[in-house]
Structure 1
Amino acid sequence: MPTGKVKFYDSKKGFGFLQSDDGQEVHLPSSALPSGVTELRAGTRMEFGIAEGRRGLQALSATVIDRGTSVVRNQRPKPQDMATIMDDLIRWLDTASTSLRKGSYPSRSQSEKLAQVLRKVADDLDA
């Protein structure tokens, strides 16, 4: 059976593409995934059967060989640095909370910055 890596996979759309070890691009429908697998990240190594479909090569009965490493996980801050970021974030949220208790929302620019930081911190924690 051929092997290759996931180029991308969109679970919402239910398909993605594999790059086979011999350089071919192969369509990966959700129906070809092993039972219980709904998410795949780029770089995951897979073994799969290939059939010629209406629009080119299509993967059949794929199995995961190696999940690969998360790029985000490798680039996230060290735990000690993350603790400092969390302390600062708590102080910032406390200031916003005080403003809300007094009956006013933070300014638009402050709200946008806070939302951006919260998303980044959430991504780093979830990696």
Structure 2
Amino acid sequence: MTGKVKWFNNQRGFGFISGDDGKEVFVHYSGIVGEGFKELAEAEPVEYDVIDTEKGVQAVNVKGV
């Protein structure tokens, strides 16, 4: 899936992605692909997969495009 980062709190390590399909998806820093400190910038375009969790849907395999 593709979308843009709605907001991401780098200190707390989570935020939301606004999908191109209009749905908002929770993202945790552990779902970001890459080495070192993992962060996302507001409005950054991203690709991601979605999984179902006990608390709802969550973005994983998140990477910038």
Q: Is TM-score (shorter-chain normalized) higher than 0.5?
A: yes
Count of paired positions: 64
Query: Which 5+ residue runs of structure 2 have no aligned equivalent?
Result: none
- Indicate the structure with greater helix content: 1
Are 1:25 and 2:24 matched, yes or no? Answer: yes
- Give % identity: 33
Kindly indicate whether the alpha-carbon contact (under 8 Å) linking 2:13 and 2:39 is maintained by their aligned counterparts in 1. no
Higher relative contact order (CA 8 A, sep 6+): 2
RMSD: 1.1
Query: Which 5+ residue runs of structure 1 have no aligned equivalent?
Result: 66-127
Match of 2:38 in 1: 38
Match of 1:58 in 2: 58
Kindly indicate whether the alpha-carbon contact (under 8 Å) linking 2:26 and 2:58 is maintained by their aligned counterparts in 1. yes
User: TM-score normalized by structure 2?
Assistant: 0.89
Q: Specify the code of the residue in structure 2 equivalent to 1:30.
A: Y
Once superposed, which parts of structure 1, at least 4 consecutive aligned residues long, lie more than 6 Å away? none
User: Which protein is bigger by CA-based radius of gyration?
Assistant: 1
- Indicate the structure with greater strand content: 2
